[in-house]
């Protein structure tokens, strides 16, 4: 039961991050929190499939340090662009907007994780 609860909490937190970034107008817009919840699920599923294809099927290593970070950022931006097709109410402002949104999502997620670990 705790695994399911953990999954639901992670999903809702991801939706909250997407909603916040959508409100900041940083390359990504989301119409409502419901759209952000759907977007979080779609992005998680697409990310899982892409990472499975890259690492398990194609045996490609993303890398580490700056190169790995840049590759992960580009993959995240492409996933945002691709996810837009499946989520009504989510819009990405081209590849540049997707890069900016991916950076913003990473920063807001990092800040949220830092805040949670600092408080608890």
Which structural domain, as residue segments, surrounds residue 30? 2-119
Q: How many domains does the chain have?
A: 1
Q: What CA–CA distance (Å, rounded) separates 39 from 30? A: 9
Q: Residues 67-102: pLDDT tens digits?
A: 888 888 999 999 999 999 999 999 999 999 999 999
Is residue 88 classed exposed, middle or buried when 0-12, 13-18 and 19+ CB atoms within 10 A define those classes? exposed
Q: From the CA atom positions of the chain, what is the Rg in Å?
A: 14
Q: What CA–CA distance (Å, rounded) separates 100 from 102? A: 5
For the cut 90, the answer to whether the pLDDT of residue 4 exceeds it is no
Q: What is the pLDDT of residue 75?
A: 92
Q: What is the pLDDT of residue 93?
A: 93
Q: What is the pLDDT of residue 69?
A: 85
Q: What is the pLDDT of residue 34?
A: 95
Q: What is the pLDDT of residue 39?
A: 95
Q: Which residue has the higher pLDDT, 6 or 15?
A: 15
pTM of the full structure: 0.84
Q: Residues 25-75: pLDDT tens digits?
A: 889 999 999 999 999 999 999 999 998 998 888 888 877 788 888 888 999
For the cut 90, the answer to whether the pLDDT of residue 1 exceeds it is no
Q: End-to-end distance of the chain based on CA atoms, in angstroms?
A: 22
Residues 81 and 90 sit within 8 Å (Cβ to Cβ): no
CA distances from 63 to 19, 53, 60, 78 (A): 30, 15, 9, 18
């Amino acid at each position: 039961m705790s695994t399911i609860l953990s999954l639901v909490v992670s999903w809702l937190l991801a939706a909250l991050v997407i909603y916040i970034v959508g409100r900041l107008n940083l390359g990504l817009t989301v119409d409502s929190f419901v759209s952000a919840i759907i977007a979080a699920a779609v992005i998680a599923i697409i990310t899982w499939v892409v990472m499975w294809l890259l690492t398990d099927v194609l045996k490609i290593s993303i890398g580490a340090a700056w190169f790995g970070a840049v590759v992960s950022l580009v993959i995240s931006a492409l996933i945002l662009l691709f996810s837009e097709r499946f989520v009504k109410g989510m819009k990405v402002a081209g590849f540049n907007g997707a890069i900016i949104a991916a950076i913003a999502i990473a920063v807001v997620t990092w800040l949220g994780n830092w805040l949670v670990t600092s408080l608890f």
